[in-house]
Structure 1
Amino acid sequence: MIYAFSPFELDMAKFELRKDGEPCPIEPKVLALLAYLVEHRERLVSKEEIFEKLWDGRIVTDSALASRIKLARKVLGDTGHTQRFIKTVHGKGLRFVADVRPLRNSPIVSPEDDSRQEADTPQAADDVSYRPSIAVLPFQLLGKPGPYDTIADGLPHEIIAELARLRWLLVIARASSFRFRDRDPDQHHIGQLLGARYLLSGCVEASDRQLVITTELVDTRSGEIVWAERFTGKVEDIHAVRKEIREKILAALEIQIPLHEATAARLIVTENMDAWSAYHVGLQHIFRFNQKDNAAAAALFQRAIKLDPAFARAHAGLSFVHFQTAFLRHTDDIAGETALARRCAQAGLEIDPLDPFVNFTMGRSFWLSADLDRAHSWLERATSLCPNYAQGVYALAWTNTIAGADQEGRDQVDLAMRLSPLDPLYYAMLGTRGITHVARGEMAEAVQWAERAARSPGAHVLIAMIAAATQELAGNAAAAATWAANVRERSPQLGSAEFFGAFPMRKEPLRTQFATALQKLGF
């Protein structure tokens, strides 16, 4: 989206402010503030909201915000007296008041956009064919009316707000989707009217004691049910049930929509794939953790970028490829692959700095250089952008665990596993849980989690090294030797140096424990 307000253009894709076509020098945080005010120009934005959205809720003084506002006005040639662009409503907040002309339709409609014209939605979906769109319909209330009727509207509205955090998904505004309340909706017709590729609908049944909620995700093009789930709970636990449903739906859609898109893409001749299809088939390859599939993923992500250079997630996918090449030691040029992983992540950030997956790949690139502090910062940003982003939560858990914050890591990895029990990185979550037990000297539990991790589908060879070391630490020499043999058969070149290169453990005695165990096993 480009917003024009004479003589300026605010280019959201490039994250750039231009005056008469020339880029304006502006501090990133000031530009972020300006962009937020422009995007929400139809209403007053409070100071509290700005602190939450731009400073992730961190404690910031009023003077810090005041200085950014002053700098924004200076760039625009505005003043606190004239206020031609940014108006201060004392004691209330700020509003962008200049006339703004969008130069092309926005690829994302968020819940805050409820007051905008619904007619814009279908065109927005057409403009970004690689980004799927979803509409969440009001849920149907079954049974007799009662005190919990509001769940049928309240829960889907909360789901819309959560889905809007997913930068890769276009979310139809509540004001449009909530107009369809038929008990037997024509899903294909609604999809056409709203420009929605997917519809999420549901039913609510509440009795005196029991609450039952069913949800269903449908592909409006084919009428196919992509995913469905049934949630039950006690009425008195309604708030906990609401939270669980929001979390599980968000995590499920993160997996089910890309999987469905990739399956459909496989029916298309490769030469005709669009950027979205190429990207998601690439994801299927990358999570197999071997050189052949990694190379296939690289080719598909490169194709996606060629088709659409502004596709941020395709750049992030390519970063993931280079991360995996270095992490699994598929090359002797670890430094070169690390640099490429970071460069591709940076390219994605320049396009969309608010995409959780893009921030995730930047954070993981710092694992490769053992810079856990900077990795933690980027991963924390990814999860603040989308608190239910399971892979981001897992990566943050892993970073905390090897940095010594094992309790925090355990809490986070438990959340990640609850959010995404079918995640392609689930084996890594299990392995992380095992290491938190080693850190506490709970070797019997550590062995159980490490074994589950190493035996899980998709687990790469470094997970087998964790299992071998954990068995050795628990005094199970035979089992440790078996896993060590498994490692050597799969990757004879791996040793302690490669293990700690991938897992730069800081905490003592955790690092020494693993080093000693691996040495005893001949690594």
Structure 2
Amino acid sequence: MQRPEVSDVCSHMVWDFGAFRLDPERFELTLRGERVPVEPQVLTMLVHLVRNRHRMVTRDELAEAVWKGTAVSDASISSRIRSVRAAVGDDGTRQDVIRTVHGRGFRFLPDVSEDAPARPEPREPSKGPDAARTGRPSIAVLPLAPLAVDEAYAILADAIPHEIIQALSRLRWLSVTARGSSFRFRQPAPDVDLAATALGVRYVLSGILETSGDALSVTLELSDSGLGEIIWADRLTSGISEVDDLRARIVNHIVAALEIVVPENEARLAQLSGADKFDAWANYHLGLRHLYRFTARDNAAARVHFEKAAALEPAFARAQAGLSFTSFIDAFLRIVPDVPAAQAAARRHAERGLELDVLDPFVNFTMGRSHWLTQELDGARLWLSRATTLNPNYAQGYYASAFTSMLVGDAGSTLDELDTALTLSPLDPLLYGMHGVRAQMLLQRKDYVAAAHWAGRAAGTPGAHYLIGMIAVVAYGLAGENEQAARWRNEVRRRKPDASAADYFTAFPTQDGPSRTLIAAELRRQGF
């Protein structure tokens, strides 16, 4: 197959109407260059109306496009239409943009021009870690190369990468090349270097699809185009009868892996490049590297990087989310003497992040966490639900939701959300927290043996902080495993000599009275 010329690679299309620009690939509406904050369902409805502007769109069609077959009332559809109108400066009386066809549906009225947004100029692939790497990380997902694939399943070579592109497009920290461009590199063995050069991306995801007997397998590789190295690879296999399950697993697996692998790679290369080359995104990724260690020293280092990122790029929502997270840690671990001030800072930075990008899952996540600190659990659940709605593959969002469910004593939701988080990200940097929340929930259910098992796994996980050790002390103590309880008691004292029961209940303000009484008694017995 002839290789596509660089000049033939085109970008996705965006729509302009009046002073508005709607980018369906980036899932973004702007007015004179400024982002318009719009709820995901509202934006989905607007995209569908504009895409089908040459005809009337029925209510049933909108319901299917937005709610995906879930039962929805006419009132809900009307409410979303009002929100769409508000976003584009229209109203139900004037109807200059969206006209209601009574009893039937809706029409999008303005003239729309299509435009291909400018893409980066093709570049020579950089060689080595000293090459300049600035701005938001970018990725192209290529079609899978079929290898001895039954004809009935050949369509999966396109379908799986397309679903990956859709899922990755929800990640606000990653720039994803549109399918129309990346799928031009369809070959039995795609040229990763050519694709990276032509599309101007740092990362390329490629792979092989193959069938053998009753099994179907997908092998995936993530390449760093600057280094010319494969930085992550995996292989997933399922029975032919479980193709739909395999497709879902692949998408979930990819998103969770990239959430960990790419930021770590970006941080590593930023450090190699030297501090004088750190841009806002480099500082952000370096901040993440310190953030999940939950120590006073690392938290301070993370804050410095996030502050530099915010100073370099004042409209950088994720820098504000990072600052909210560091303030959360200050309050959660009681690192600072003025805990109320840290709580207020966590909320303030999260609110600023939302002002800059209301659709960023990480920003919504930090807003939810800020509500933990003030024990506004209903508010926490709302914001964390928004985070996982914006990114259904957001493992830490499900973990945080599980933590909140545990605090209100909802065991079913706690365990379901933890299982989802662990399925999405089995090597997550907050793995100790996931196991710790499970242990705490089991303590509340008086299953002390199981609680001790999970608490031991949590406390022994790299990165676990002293509060996780306190869960292990309580769980082992109530399970009658005094030797293990003493071991973790000594470890907690080593890490934080003044640790107390007040610290425990400040971090885990559970609402279950009887279990709080038992835990408090065990903490006293252990000398806290």
**Normalised by the shorter chain, which TM-score bucket?**
0.7 to 0.9
Structure 2: unaligned runs, 5 residues or longer: 1-13, 124-132
Correspondence list, 1:323-338, <5 A: 323-338=328-343
SS in 1 for 2:273: coil
Aligned amino acid, residue 496 of structure 1? A
Matched, 1:136 2:141: yes
1:78-133 deviation line (CA, Å, top 9, x unaligned): 566874322446677545442468xxxxxxxxxxxxxx7666443799xx952211
Query: 2:391 & 2:235 partners in 1: Cα distance?
Result: 24
Query: 1:76 & 1:242 partners in 2: Cα distance?
Result: 36
SS in 2 for 1:122: coil
Query: 1:283 & 1:499 partners in 2: Cα distance?
Result: 25
Q: Which moved more, 1:304-313 or 1:56-65?
A: 56-65
The answer for the alignment partner of 2:51 in structure 1 is 42
Matched, 1:386 2:391: yes
The answer for the alignment partner of 2:366 in structure 1 is 361
Query: 1:249 & 1:144 partners in 2: Cα distance?
Result: 22
Change beyond 3 A, Cα 1:517–1:40: farther
Q: 2:216–2:237: 8 Å Cα contact kept in structure 1?
A: yes
The answer for the alignment partner of 2:78 in structure 1 is 66
Q: Which moved more, 1:481-490 or 1:323-332?
A: 481-490
Q: Which moved more, 1:361-370 or 1:92-101?
A: 92-101
Correspondence list, 1:26-425, <5 A: 33=42, 37=46, 41-43=50-52, 61-66=73-78, 69=81, 83-88=95-100, 94=106, 96-99=108-111, 120-122=118-120, 129-143=134-148, 145-425=150-430
Query: 1:213 & 1:17 partners in 2: Cα distance?
Result: 38
Change beyond 3 A, Cα 1:520–1:304: same
Aligned amino acid, residue 475 of structure 1? G
Change beyond 3 A, Cα 1:451–1:124: farther
SS in 2 for 1:458: coil
Query: 1:7 & 1:157 partners in 2: Cα distance?
Result: 31
Q: Which moved more, 1:220-229 or 1:145-154?
A: 145-154
Q: 1:29–1:68: 8 Å Cα contact kept in structure 2?
A: no
Change beyond 3 A, Cα 1:66–1:292: same
Q: Considering Cα pairs closer than 8 Å and 6+ residues apart, tell me whether 1 or 2 has the greater RCO.
A: 2
Q: CA deviation at 1:478?
A: 2.9
SS in 1 for 2:343: helix
Query: 2:514 & 2:64 partners in 1: Cα distance?
Result: 38
Query: 1:476 & 1:188 partners in 2: Cα distance?
Result: 57
TM-score (norm 2): 0.85
Q: Which moved more, 1:203-212 or 1:355-364?
A: 203-212
SS in 2 for 1:421: coil
SS in 2 for 1:499: helix
Change beyond 3 A, Cα 1:71–1:354: closer
1:127-150 deviation line (CA, Å, top 9, x unaligned): x95221111111011015432212
The answer for the alignment partner of 2:490 in structure 1 is 485
SS in 2 for 1:218: strand
Q: 1:51–1:57: 8 Å Cα contact kept in structure 2?
A: yes
Change beyond 3 A, Cα 1:378–1:82: closer
Q: 1:10–1:18: 8 Å Cα contact kept in structure 2?
A: no
Query: 1:499 & 1:273 partners in 2: Cα distance?
Result: 38
Change beyond 3 A, Cα 1:350–1:10: farther
Query: 2:192 & 2:141 partners in 1: Cα distance?
Result: 12
Query: 2:232 & 2:87 partners in 1: Cα distance?
Result: 49
Q: CA deviation at 1:72?
A: 6.3
The answer for the alignment partner of 1:518 in structure 2 is 523
Aligned amino acid, residue 97 of structure 2? F
1:382-437 deviation line (CA, Å, top 9, x unaligned): 11111111111111111111210112111211221121121110011111122232
1:221-252 deviation line (CA, Å, top 9, x unaligned): 22211110011222122222222111111110
SS in 2 for 1:509: helix
Query: 1:71 & 1:257 partners in 2: Cα distance?
Result: 36
The answer for the alignment partner of 1:451 in structure 2 is 456
SS in 1 for 2:348: helix
Q: 1:30–1:69: 8 Å Cα contact kept in structure 2?
A: no
Change beyond 3 A, Cα 1:311–1:3: farther
Change beyond 3 A, Cα 1:197–1:89: farther
Q: Select 1:502's aligned residue among 507, 512, 516.
A: 507
Q: Which moved more, 1:51-60 or 1:474-483?
A: 51-60
Aligned length: 500
Aligned amino acid, residue 120 of structure 2? P
TM-score (norm 1): 0.86
Q: Percent identity?
A: 47
Change beyond 3 A, Cα 1:34–1:139: closer
Change beyond 3 A, Cα 1:47–1:509: farther
Change beyond 3 A, Cα 1:395–1:53: farther
Change beyond 3 A, Cα 1:409–1:75: closer
Q: CA deviation at 1:191?
A: 1.5
Change beyond 3 A, Cα 1:296–1:216: same
Q: 1:390–1:420: 8 Å Cα contact kept in structure 2?
A: yes
Query: 1:379 & 1:74 partners in 2: Cα distance?
Result: 25
Query: 2:500 & 2:189 partners in 1: Cα distance?
Result: 61
Q: CA deviation at 1:298?
A: 0.5
Structure 1: unaligned runs, 5 residues or longer: 102-115
1:303-348 deviation line (CA, Å, top 9, x unaligned): 0011111111111011111000110110121110000001101111
The answer for the alignment partner of 1:110 in structure 2 is none
